[in-house]
Structure 1
Amino acid sequence: MAEAPRSCDCFVSLPPGSKDDHVIFGKNSDRPREEVQEVVYFPASVHPPASTVQCTYISIPQAPCTHAVVLSRPAWLWGAEMGANEHGVCIGNEAVLGLERGVSAREALDVITSLLESYGQGGACRETLEPFSYHNTFLLVDRQEAWVLETAGRLWAAQNITAGVKNISNQLTISSDISAEHRDLRTVAQDQGWWSGEGCFSFCEALSLENPPARMQLAQQRYKGGTALLKQHNGAMTAEVMMSILRDKASGICMDSEGFCTTGSMVSILPRDPDVPCVHFLTATPDPSRSVFKPFIFSEAVRAVSMVMSPQYGPDDPVRTRPRFQKQVDRKHELYRAHQTAITRPDDGASLQETMRYLESQCLEEIEAMLRGEIQGQELGDLFYDCVDAEIKFYQ
């Protein structure tokens, strides 16, 4: 049996690919089936000189100040699968430091590549003793442009996207259309025998595996499926259409295969007009085809949402103790528990999902009217909290 494609799918649509004058971002986080994904908010902060930040496995120097961020992340990780910051920057794949330190997609790109060159990448990518690690690709988006960043060790290449649609699926796709790169990329590629030094340099040809495993071949199929869906909706992309793409099971984008599934999803609307707020929709529950996208908007009074935050285990957390991962702990948050119970009810699970999907569509209509200036946004800081609270009550 073929190995499941262990990759996440990220999408972006920039005008004229979008129906309105908005940039639309979307991502599914495909992770081990039993892994819980939480949604957390951190306000902007000022940090003492010479302070450090403890990441999942290493400590690095802290920035003098960090931006407010909302993150969707595996509950055991310090890092995140996806998120956004107060300046309208969204990142898919390993997002925290780029969002906390970048006011634009390009600045976030510079943050990530600088850290990559300094510290490299590695470490266990799931909460288990079984080895599982990979090198990363990123999609960085703001109100004006997007950047695809692909990496191999400390080497990297980036491609700037300013119009139309684009997707990534955790594989190398950048060929010769390179907008920025590691200063030693071509020298290393030539020294290692990956490139002859003659003709056009292709990042994906030089650094891809000669005999990729089955999971990478299947990831290629997912990439092609995502490209086809974007092409189908090119010129008419909206948040609702992006949600439908993330819910597409036929392409494998909505994953449920061999121990892996889509554990969290995110869609963002980034209006080109800087006076109009960005809106970020997050599920905080697995399988977007059976989940509800709930809106989050940055404001001066964002309310913490404990119902989508997992329990904390402090220094006894198995990711912090040494040796790591010697035991399992329950990381289910309140919404996760309510959602899992509701969708497995034999009597009314399907009808409940239908009701929730209707409420989601009503919410989308109101958000779009607000973005058009037809209605005023009220109590934006409580918006995500109120939607999560209402969803839990529907499930009870």
Structure 2
Amino acid sequence: MEPNSCDTFVALPPSTVGNRIIFGKNSDRPFDEVQEIIYFPAATHSLEKKLECTYIEIEQVAETYAVVLSRPSWLWGAEMGANEHGVCIGNEAVWGREEVCEEEALLGMDLVRLGLERADTAEKALNIIVDLLEKYGQGGNCSENMVFSYHNSFLIADRHEAWILETAGQYWAAEKVEEGVRNISNQLCITTKIDREHPKMREYAKSKGWWDGEKEFNFAAVYAYPNSSGIITLSERYCEGNKLLNKHKGNITFETMMEILRDKESGINMKGAFQTTGSMVSILPSDPSLPCIHFFTGTPHPERSVFKPFIFAPNLTHLLETISPTFGLEDPVKKHPRFQSKCDRRHPLYQRHDQAIEIMNADEEKGRKMLEEMRILEKEILKEMELVLQNKCLDENRTIDLFSQCVKNEMKIYGPIIGSP
């Protein structure tokens, strides 16, 4: 199918305000797919027990870090997320000359979660992802609604640096980003600056006749489709994202990143059969005494959603309002053949937001007032978080319940579910 999903961004000092790295992603997925926000605490594991990912089992590790994930609720992995050490990862679907494997293996979204659970720096996450890619491969259907498979690229960031990792089957190239701005958008974008690579990546390209072994090696030029009208469209969206980052270069804040994710004209805020189903913005201060703050919508339509903050802390409560129902062995993804039916995966926030969107579409005045209340709530939240980043301590009890309370305040704006008692 035509490639069409997701944009991920990173801005590093001196492009940002306050000596912070700002990470952002729009997850663009099938329009009716539910994305949940879910927290998993740090844990210890028996090495004798296998880890069940979306489709396959792999070897477990002794310890995993606490993670917060924004994920399509039918799968194990995640579209984007962060861990307790300030590592953030988002992935993109990419296609190219190397054929996509449709056999079930690790999904790119599984690799996002595995990188977050097992790495305390961005580069370590890269190492984990490429090691798992080598051992288990990537492949399998990436949607419960249609046949949709792809290779993956990743943007990985921590408090100090970022990495772009792009894959084609088991082959890969990585570029380190230490300053400025970068974005990825469903196309290979690593060219001649390759800081790390699969040891046989060039040899393989030469054996396929994609590279003559003499010209300067350009990963995107060698591994991408030589000609594709779809790639032209993607280039436009990629370029628009880059323009928006550069427009604000030197003054980028977390609010700037949120506005970029809400931008419709560029296509970054996507509509249609594929739409933006969830958004994330993270602030990663270089000062280790300050907390990393991760904002999630947990709902589609970022221009009509609220970015809500999450901060890692001991004794965090479960995020009940943004967790989808589970169906155990009756889940269509668990049965064989898979995906023969659909189930209602909407979590409480999604249901309320769904109803609010209907009101906004049907009654302009009610919709305007509701959106105004949402923006007031969000501005209050952003103001409070900026004070935290200026070394104003946040009460521990407030931190524990921060995300959940913001969700509850948002749901109050939407009102009760119609038809509920």
TM bucket (normalised to shorter chain) is: over 0.9
Structure 1 stretches lacking a partner, 5+ long: none
Residues of 2 paired with 1:198 and 1:82: CA distance?
38
What amino acid is aligned across from residue 127 of structure 2 in structure 1? D
Q: Which runs of 4+ in 1 moved over 4 A?
A: none
C-alpha deviation, 1:4, in angstroms: 6.7
Counterpart in the other structure of 2:97: none
Asked if 1:389 corresponds to 2:403, the answer is no
C-alpha deviation, 1:342, in angstroms: 1.1
Q: Is 1:7–1:219's contact at 8 Å kept on the other side of the alignment?
A: no
Counterpart in the other structure of 1:125: 142
Residues of 2 paired with 1:15 and 1:377: CA distance?
29
Q: Is 1:247–1:254's contact at 8 Å kept on the other side of the alignment?
A: yes
Q: Is 1:35–1:74's contact at 8 Å kept on the other side of the alignment?
A: yes
Structure 2 stretches lacking a partner, 5+ long: 92-108, 416-421
Counterpart in the other structure of 1:22: 20
C-alpha deviation, 1:376, in angstroms: 3.6
SS in structure 2 opposite 1:344?
helix
Asked if 1:352 corresponds to 2:352, the answer is no
SS in structure 2 opposite 1:10?
strand
Residues of 2 paired with 1:124 and 1:301: CA distance?
36
Residues of 1 paired with 2:296 and 2:269: CA distance?
15
Residues of 1 paired with 2:285 and 2:319: CA distance?
25
Counterpart in the other structure of 1:76: 74
**1:301-359 deviation line (CA, Å, top 9, x unaligned):** 21111111111000000000000001010001110010111122133122111111121
Asked if 1:113 corresponds to 2:127, the answer is no
Asked if 1:144 corresponds to 2:163, the answer is no
SS in structure 2 opposite 1:256?
coil
- What is the RMSD computed on CA atoms of the aligned residues? 1.2
Q: Is 1:13–1:165's contact at 8 Å kept on the other side of the alignment?
A: yes
Q: Is 1:91–1:141's contact at 8 Å kept on the other side of the alignment?
A: yes
Q: Is 1:37–1:263's contact at 8 Å kept on the other side of the alignment?
A: yes
TM-score normalized with structure 1 length: 0.97
Asked if 1:240 corresponds to 2:239, the answer is no
Residues of 1 paired with 2:125 and 2:50: CA distance?
19
**Counterpart among 191, 199, 213 of residue 215 in structure 2:** 199
What amino acid is aligned across from residue 328 of structure 2 in structure 1? G
Counterpart in the other structure of 2:8: 10
Counterpart in the other structure of 1:267: 281
Counterpart in the other structure of 2:98: none
Counterpart in the other structure of 2:354: 340
Q: Is 2:377–2:410's contact at 8 Å kept on the other side of the alignment?
A: no
C-alpha deviation, 1:375, in angstroms: 5.0
Residues of 2 paired with 1:170 and 1:179: CA distance?
21
What are the residue-to-residue correspondences of 1:344-383 with 2, within 5 Å?
Answer: 344-345=358-359, 346-347=362-363, 348-374=366-392, 376-379=394-397, 380-383=399-402
Residues of 2 paired with 1:321 and 1:387: CA distance?
36
Residues of 2 paired with 1:331 and 1:350: CA distance?
28
Q: Is 2:161–2:176's contact at 8 Å kept on the other side of the alignment?
A: yes
C-alpha deviation, 1:199, in angstroms: 2.6
What amino acid is aligned across from residue 390 of structure 1 in structure 2? N
Counterpart in the other structure of 2:171: 155
Counterpart in the other structure of 2:99: none
TM-score normalized with structure 2 length: 0.91
Counterpart in the other structure of 1:221: 236
Aligned residues: 391
Counterpart in the other structure of 1:48: 46
**1:197-253 deviation line (CA, Å, top 9, x unaligned):** 0031110111011232x4332211110000000000111010000000000000000
SS in structure 2 opposite 1:114?
helix
**Counterpart among 317, 328, 338 of residue 314 in structure 1:** 328
Asked if 1:164 corresponds to 2:164, the answer is no
Residues of 2 paired with 1:275 and 1:189: CA distance?
46
Q: Is 1:4–1:218's contact at 8 Å kept on the other side of the alignment?
A: no
Residues of 1 paired with 2:280 and 2:179: CA distance?
21
Q: Is 1:370–1:377's contact at 8 Å kept on the other side of the alignment?
A: no
SS in structure 1 opposite 2:114?
helix
Residues of 1 paired with 2:200 and 2:379: CA distance?
49
SS in structure 1 opposite 2:120?
coil
**1:261-311 deviation line (CA, Å, top 9, x unaligned):** 000000000000111100000000001011000000000021111111111
Asked if 1:182 corresponds to 2:201, the answer is no
What amino acid is aligned across from residue 368 of structure 2 in structure 1? A
Q: Is 1:25–1:268's contact at 8 Å kept on the other side of the alignment?
A: yes
